[in-house]
């Protein structure tokens, strides 16, 4: 009987102390998100959106009434105007190699966000050879990349001068359109050689074609790739090597991993890399080296 009394008394004390506490976790708060890649040959621009909470739908909410301040080497150089296309874009400011660019974005409804990046220099790279392969319908290209000492990060892009038609024969895209890059080169496959103990299938696809210089730091490296075409025959190519800063490299890598492991119920969640304080997103930079391959050179 005594045991029952003590149990009832304990239950009474617990219920009498009950208090309703309003929960306000970070997942219930919206914050600003900025996305921008600064390129020396392009006007500085960025997109500002709002995050979604666990109760929001997945629609991207663009913020068009924020104050976007841009600083060059800590000096305010411009307040970016908002454009109808959803971007804040400068009318004249193009980032300079070797300079630091930071931002401060404020809005009455959200916490102010900040971040900064240093624009890297272009990389010395040339097309060493290019030949169209009639057996694979691809152009086999070898690039000679001259890497500087220290940690460096890259991204490879390719475009082909072509015309794309729909099933009815109508032109849907023409000019330089994005091409697909294939390669068994270890630098494009997580620095792993095909056939070793860590096969490529254990890793996400390198859809962004990003890589580091872990295998050729401070040396000249011959990178071999194959560029696929939409039509038969040699076509003019445009190949771009981007010299990324570390934040942009980590961002692309984390996005690839997030997509790859998100479908695995046993994998740990992959957090997308961000260098934005009090918010999320990426404010980063790259410098592009553009190379051309004529049809007659293949």
Q: What is the pLDDT of residues 78-124, one digit of tens each?
A: 999 999 899 999 999 999 999 999 999 999 999 999 999 999 999 99
Q: Which residues of 60-84 are buried (b: 16+ CB within 10 A; e: fewer)?
A: eeebeebebbbbbeeeeebebebee
Which residue bears the tokens 């009318």? 91
Task: Let me know: does 40 contact 95? Beta carbons within 8 Å.
Answer: yes
Task: Let me know: does 242 contact 209? Beta carbons within 8 Å.
Answer: no
Task: Transcribe 157-179 into DSSP letters.
Answer: EEEEEEEEE-TTS-EEEEEEEE-
C-alpha 260/C-alpha 208 separation (Å) is 13
pLDDT at 154 exceeding the cut of 60: yes
C-alpha 110/C-alpha 117 separation (Å) is 23
Instruction: Let me know how many helices (H) and strands (E) the chain has, helices first.
Output: 2, 17
Q: Where are the alpha helices (DSSP H) in the chain?
A: 2-16, 246-262
Q: What percent of the chain has pLDDT over 70?
A: 81
pLDDT at 2 exceeding the cut of 50: no
Instruction: Say which CATH architecture domain 26-118 belongs to.
Output: Sandwich (2.60)
Q: What is the pLDDT of residue 268?
A: 63
Average pLDDT, the chain: 85
User: What are the extents of the domains in the chain?
Assistant: 26-118, 124-272+287-297
Task: Let me know: does 242 contact 290? Beta carbons within 8 Å.
Answer: no
Q: What is the pTM of this model?
A: 0.83
pLDDT at 140 exceeding the cut of 70: yes
Q: Tell me: the pLDDT tens digits for 232-244?
A: 778 899 999 999 9
Task: Let me know: does 285 contact 117? Beta carbons within 8 Å.
Answer: yes
What average pLDDT score do residues 257-265 get? Answer: 66
Task: Let me know: does 119 contact 285? Beta carbons within 8 Å.
Answer: yes
C-alpha 111/C-alpha 233 separation (Å) is 55
| 3-state SS, residue 30 | coil
| 3-state SS, residue 59 | coil
């Amino acid at each position: 009987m005594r045991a029952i009394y003590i149990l009832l008394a304990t239950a009474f004390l617990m219920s009498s102390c009950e208090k309703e506490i309003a929960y306000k976790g970070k997942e219930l708060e919206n914050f600003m998100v900025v996305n921008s890649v600064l390129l020396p040959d392009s006007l500085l621009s960025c997109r500002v959106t709002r995050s979604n909470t666990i109760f929001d739908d997945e629609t991207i909410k663009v913020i068009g009434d924020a104050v976007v301040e841009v600083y060059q080497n800590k000096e305010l150089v411009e307040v970016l105007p908002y454009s109808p296309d959803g971007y804040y874009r400068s009318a004249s400011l193009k980032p300079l190699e070797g300079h630091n660019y930071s931002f401060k974005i404020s809005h009455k409804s959200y916490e102010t966000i900040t971040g900064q990046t240093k624009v890297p220099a272009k990389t010395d790279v040339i097309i060493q050879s290019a030949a169209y392969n009639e057996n694979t319908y691809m152009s086999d290209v070898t690039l000679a990349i001259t890497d500087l000492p220290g940690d460096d990060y890259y991204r490879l892009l390719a475009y082909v001068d072509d015309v794309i038609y729909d099933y009815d024969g109508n032109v849907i895209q023409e000019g330089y359109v994005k091409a697909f890059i294939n390669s068994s080169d270890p630098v494009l496959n997580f620095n792993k050689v095909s056939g070793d103990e860590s096969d490529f299938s254990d890793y996400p696809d390198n859809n962004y074609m990003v890589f580091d210089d872990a295998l050729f730091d401070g040396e000249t490296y011959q990178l071999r790739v194959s560029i696929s075409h939409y039509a038969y025959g040699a076509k003019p190519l445009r190949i771009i090597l981007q010299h990324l800063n570390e934040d942009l490299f980590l961002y692309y890598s984390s996005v690839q991993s997030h997509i790859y492991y998100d479908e695995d119920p046993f994998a740990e969640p992959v957090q997308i890399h961000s260098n934005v304080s009090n918010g999320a997103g990426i404010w980063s930079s790259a410098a592009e080296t553009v190379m051309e391959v004529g049809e007659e050179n293949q």
